[in-house]
Amino acid sequence: MRITAGEFKGRRLTPPSDRRVRATTEKVREAWFNILAPAITGARVLDLFAGSGVLGLEALSRGAHHVDFVELSDKSIGTIRANIAVLGVKPRTQLYRGDALRFAQRLAEGAYDVALADPPYTTDQAVRLLEVFRRCTFARVLSIEHRASLDCPGDETRRYGDVALTFCYGSWHG
């Protein structure tokens, strides 16, 4: 698993040690960040269901100012810490242990510029996160990776084989 572009392009990261954690493929990640490129530079980014932390670290590599990671699994938190250390970006990050949906429910409107989420495919958490976002737009843009067969009603959806990326924009999105 490696960073696809930016300051840390080509740097290898520790993959998830938990077999239940599915890492976003490089192809999908590259497409995802090409879409979000204008919003990433200088952004405050939230990485929900962070897993290995690769999404947030890719954002930092591409110019994000700061990333907050939210993850529940102790194994995954260890992996995120290791990957932050490998890139030497600890001052630009904050790691929260907890449930991503509960974390999102406590956020203020406009708390982040960009929120990235890669919830487990075997749950309805992608749809539930969209419901939270509709009640309080805690980011200018929320982007969620999910299985393509899931009906995830956002503002825009892009499909890449069995994977889809759904984007939702805050009412104050510019």
Residues 44-63 have pLDDT tens digits of: 999 999 999 999 999 999 99
Mean pLDDT of 97-125: 93
Distances (CA, A) of 23 to 20, 52, 62, 94: 10, 7, 19, 20
Helices and strands, counts by H and E, the chain: 5, 7
Asked if residue 5 has pLDDT above 60, the reply is yes
- The pLDDT of residue 29 is 86
- The pLDDT of residue 128 is 92
CATH number of 26-169: 3.40.50.150
SS3 at position 169: strand
Q: Output the six-digit token pair for 93.
A: 């990050």
pTM of the model: 0.93
Asked if residue 151 has pLDDT above 90, the reply is no
- The pLDDT of residue 101 is 96
- The pLDDT of residue 172 is 52
Strand bridging mode 156-160 / 163-169: antiparallel
